[in-house]
Each structure stands twice: as structure tokens, then as C-alpha cells.
Amino acid sequence: MSSNAKEAILSAARNAAQAHGYGGLNFRDLAAGVGIKAASIHYYFPSKADLGAAVARRYWEDTAAELEKMLAETPDPLACLHRYPAIFRRALENGNRICLCSFMSAEYDDLPEPVKVEVRTFADINVAWLGKVLIAADGGDVSASKARALAIFAAVSGAQLLARSRADVGLFDSLIGSYRDMGLLPG
């Protein structure tokens, strides 16, 4: 087995989870999509919980790297905050999918504990990044920045959910615009 097979499995699992949640991680379907036998998936991921945790971990790691890259490329914190919603918008543009961890959060009661940990970590890294950037933008205190960071994360995630339910990326844009008009997000 090659690392390419493992990457193909993780990629297919990410797409499935963004469209169907944790419940959409079906080894037989993933194997057919990747062109391997279902038993080959078990070689890398002995259980569905192992696969779900790995795909959620990879998702938050990729997001964390993207957020840090954004800060490195765009040293203006207000510009970074302006760009932040685009991360969530891209999923909608990709077949009306949503953030993998947002989808899994909706299934939270049915998730195995290792998957829950990774889903919570996704939210934690987003809120921590937003808080750090908010402090850099306005020098506010930590507790106020954390509260606003939570509100921004919840609002952007919610906008994505609502837009998906209507299959309307324009609705996402409209909601983000209203968050800017109300001052939750910088204009």
C-alpha cells in the first residue's frame, strides 16, 4: 500500500463527510470511489471512528495551515478578518458542501469520542485564530476578543449552513455582508 492510497482515501472521505457527514463515511463506497477494495481502507483505518478522526484532524490541520498562511501573506489583521469567510464559502462552491467539522458537529451525539475531539479542535483553532487577529486589529482585551471570535465563527458557520439549505452561495455572501454592516466583521 502506498501513501498515495492513504491520501486518496482521506480525500474521498473528506468529500463524503462534507456532503453527508460522519454517516456518509462508508468504506465500501469510499473504496469504489478510490478504486480499491474496502479491506484496503481497513489497512490504514481499522475502524470508521479511526477514519472519521483522521479526516477531521486533517481538515483542521489544513485549515490551521491556511489561516497561518493568510496571516503571513496578509499582515493587515483587518484584511485577514475580511478574507476569513472565504474559507467557508469555498465548500459551498464545491458541490454545495459545507465545512466538514460543522457537518459533524450536527451529528455530535452520534460521534465516537476520538472524532468529537477533532471536531472540537477545529472550532478551537478557528476561535483562537480569530481572537488573535481581533486583538492585533484593535488591541482589545482577550475576553472581549474571544467572545467576538466565538460570535464570528458561529455566524460564518451558520451562514454556510443556511446557504447550503438553499443551495445559494449568494445567500452566504448576503449574510456575510450583513455581518459587516452590523460590525460583527470588519467592512
Q: What percent of the chain has pLDDT over 70?
A: 99
- What total of structural domains would you count in the chain? 1
Instruction: List, as one string, the DSSP characters of 9-58.
Output: HHHHHHHHHHHH-GGG--HHHHHHHHTS-HHHHHHH-SSHHHHHHHHHHH
Residue 178 belongs to domain spanning: 53-182
Q: What percent of the chain has pLDDT over 90?
A: 87
pTM: 0.91
CATH code: domain of residue 130: 1.10.357.10
13 in any annotated domain: no
99 in any annotated domain: yes
1 in any annotated domain: no
Q: In the predicted model, is pLDDT for residue 73 greater than 90?
A: yes
Residue 142: predicted pLDDT: 87
Q: For residue range 76-134, list pLDDT tens digits in order.
A: 999 999 999 999 999 999 999 998 888 999 999 999 999 999 999 999 999 999 999 99
